[in-house]
Amino acid sequence: MADLIVVAYDDQHKAEEMRLKLLKLQSEYLLELEDAVVAVKKADGKIKLHQAVNLPAMGALEGGFWGTLIGCLFFMPLFGMAAGAASGALSGALSDVGINDDFMKQVAGKLTPGTSALFVLLRKVTADKVLEQFEGTGGTVIQTSLSHEKEEKLQEALSAAKLEYSKAPTV
């Protein structure tokens, strides 16, 4: 079973920075991501979703390959490639993998302009080592499928630096 975590950040770029950290942790086998999407609410109020994988482009690439292969069999590789790429792009655009786009837009609509949110769907995670990497990075947990105890630990890790910074003496 996968866990959904949504963390809001005061900065437009912080969520993307955190997604890159998650991808690095995945390459170290500390977690297994099913999906990680960054939603940015621009100053004009529009919401932009930055998917980890561009499905229409992947579909066009795959369709172009299969279209070329089939086109070569019938001595029309260019027509086959064009038809395959078009059908692949269409099927990629119509497929939705991971977190539902409408759900992400609905949640991101609650953000203030100029901020971002990171939507993460996790299959497996080594919690103690991953939380260690996110200590003090800021952010607020706005939605999750975690237990209350795990959600509190995550929020504590995210806001640890804020507390230390606010306690630091000023010069």
The pLDDT tens digits of the residues spanning 56-103 come to 555 555 655 556 656 666 666 666 556 555 555 555 444 455 678 888
- pLDDT band (50, 70, 90) for residue 132: confident
Buried b / exposed e across 1-39, counting CB within 10 Å, b at 16+? eebbbbbbbeebebbbebbeebeebbeeebbebebbbbb
pTM value is 0.66
Q: What's the pLDDT score for residue 86?
A: 59
Angle, vertex CA 81, rays to CA 78 and CA 82, nearest 5: 85
For the chain, where are the E strands, in sequence order?
3-9, 31-41, 47-50, 115-125, 140-144
Euclidean distance between CA atoms 77 and 88, whole angstroms: 16
Which pLDDT band, with edges at 50, 70 and 90, does 12 fall under? confident
As a whole number of Å, the end-to-end CA separation of the chain is 50
Give the list of residues 6+ apart from residue 118 with CB closer than 8 angstroms, or none.
5, 6, 7, 9, 15, 18, 19, 36, 37, 38, 39, 139
Length of the chain: 171
Q: What is the DSSP letter of 45?
A: S
